């Protein structure tokens, strides 16, 4: 594991002007396994380095900021964002998960039956790559998306050029713990209506967002409104939570990974304690660990340059390794 690199970038002006957004495909659909169709979107040149971006719990592809996607596209990536199953416009399942089942799984250390696993979600991602005719890709995952990305790298290492795990953890229950004050909020019954969803979103992001890079409440409301109108699934969120709570400890299998890896984590993360990031970087041979002061459980625009540079850096390591392997 490379030594941790604490980052304290300066905050740019909030109204900074940048280049025009990269060209986007708009939202498309792909059948990835029996009964599962994923909604996805691409950014940038299809001939660029493929970069699959996986979001977290209850998080649609629209939560990847277009500016971040465009910045990555301008660095030579063909960016692919996706709605995981049970979120956004992708397939919603019908299996029933109750809040009582979640609490039991939480207090028992992961015991319980989940409708599907993170392995299933990783195979959804592989199905999307197959649909797009992509043999291998750089993979970036945030929170639950980081868990899926790690699982994808374990299940099919030949399909992952580089791995970036952001504010995630290994599945070991003694690391990456959640602030216990968050669980009641996450399990609170959903109040119907867009206004209630907006206010709930504001309350959540005030608790888990980056204290060093506060997000204006009105912007949170705008994103929440757009998310609600695009489609939310309260039962889908419970199924995803069950997959998270019943995940195995990946530590031993992460030791087997040989692709270049990067782990990014905020030192102020209350949803997934920074110990999860440290454990992930420690488990993956040669992984770079980037710890960021003031970052919580979100992706502040002020840090986009930091993220893009780091992702490009680890992808560059993969390209150098591939070129070196061809040298006579």
| Structure confidence at residue 283 (pLDDT) | 98
Topology given in CATH for the domain delimited by 28-178+235-326: Rossmann fold (3.40.50)
**Mean pLDDT of the 195-222 span:** 95
H or E segment and range at residue 171: none
DSSP string, 40-88: EEEES-TTSEEEEEE--TT--GGGS-HHHHHHHHHTTEEEEEEPPTTST
**How much of the chain, in percent, has pLDDT values that exceed 70?**
93
- pLDDT category of residue 54 using cuts at 50, 70 and 90: very high
Given the structure tokens 């109750």, which residue do they identify? 98
**Mean pLDDT of the 151-178 span:** 97
**Mean pLDDT of the 35-44 span:** 98
26, 29, 93, 258, 295 from 299: Cα distances, Å: 22, 26, 28, 27, 8
pLDDT reading at 13 higher than 80:
no
| Closest C-alpha among 277, 288, 262, 256 to residue 1 | 288
Angstrom distance (rounded) from CA 225 to CA 229:
6
DSSP character at residue 159:
G
| Structure confidence at residue 50 (pLDDT) | 98
Q: Are 182 and 290 in contact (CB under 8 A)?
A: no
DSSP string, 261-294: EEEEEETT-SSS-HHHHHHHHHHSTT-EEEEETT
| Structure confidence at residue 123 (pLDDT) | 98
Angstrom distance (rounded) from CA 139 to CA 311:
10
Q: Look over the chain and give the mean of its residue pLDDT values, rounded to a whole number.
A: 92
Instruction: Kindly report, residue by residue over 291-312, the tens digit of the pLDDT.
Output: 999 999 999 999 999 999 999 9
| Closest C-alpha among 155, 100, 106 to residue 126 | 155
| Structure confidence at residue 108 (pLDDT) | 84
Domain ranges of the chain: 28-178+235-326
| Structure confidence at residue 101 (pLDDT) | 93
- What the block records as the tokens of 256 is 């087997």
Residue 67, number of CB atoms within 10 A of its CB = 15
Q: Are 228 and 202 in contact (CB under 8 A)?
A: no
E strands, 215-270, where?
261-266
| Structure confidence at residue 107 (pLDDT) | 85
């Amino acid at each position: 594991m490379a030594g941790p690199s604490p980052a304290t970038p300066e905050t740019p002006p909030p109204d900074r002007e940048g280049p025009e957004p990269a060209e986007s495909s708009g939202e498309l659909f792909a059948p990835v396994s029996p009964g599962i169709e994923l909604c996805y979107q691409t950014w940038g040149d299809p001939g660029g380095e493929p970069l699959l971006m996986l979001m977290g719990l209850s998080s649609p592809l629209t939560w990847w900021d277009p500016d971040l996607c465009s910045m990555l596209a301008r660095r030579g990536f063909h960016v692919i964002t996706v709605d995981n199953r049970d979120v956004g416009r992708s397939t919603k399942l019908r299996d029933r998960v109750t809040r009582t089942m979640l609490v039991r799984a939480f207090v028992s250390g992961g015991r319980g039956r989940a409708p599907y696993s993170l392995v299933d979600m990783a195979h959804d991602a592989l199905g999307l790559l197959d649909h797009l005719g992509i043999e291998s890709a750089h993979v970036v995952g945030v929170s639950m998306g980081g868990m899926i990305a790690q699982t994808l790298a374990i299940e099919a290492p030949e399909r992952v050029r580089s791995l970036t795990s952001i504010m995630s953890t290994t599945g070991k229950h003694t690391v990456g713990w959640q602030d216990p004050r968050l669980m009641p909020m996450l399990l609170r019954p959903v109040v119907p209506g867009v206004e209630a969803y907006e206010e709930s979103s504001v309350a959540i992001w005030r608790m888990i967002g980056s204290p060093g890079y506060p997000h204006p409440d009105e912007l949170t409301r705008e994103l929440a409104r757009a998310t609600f109108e695009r489609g939310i699934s309260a039962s889908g969120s419970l199924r995803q939570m069950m997959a998270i709570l019943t995940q195995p400890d990946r530590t031993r299998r992460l030791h087997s990974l040989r692709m270049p890896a990067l782990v990014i984590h905020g030192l102020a993360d209350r949803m997934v304690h920074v110990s999860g990031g440290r454990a992930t970087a420690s488990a993956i041979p040669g992984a770079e660990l980037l710890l960021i002061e003031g970052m919580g459980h979100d992706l502040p625009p002020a840090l986009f340059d930091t993220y893009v540079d780091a992702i490009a850096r680890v992808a560059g390591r993969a390209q150098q390794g591939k070129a070196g392997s061809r040298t006579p």
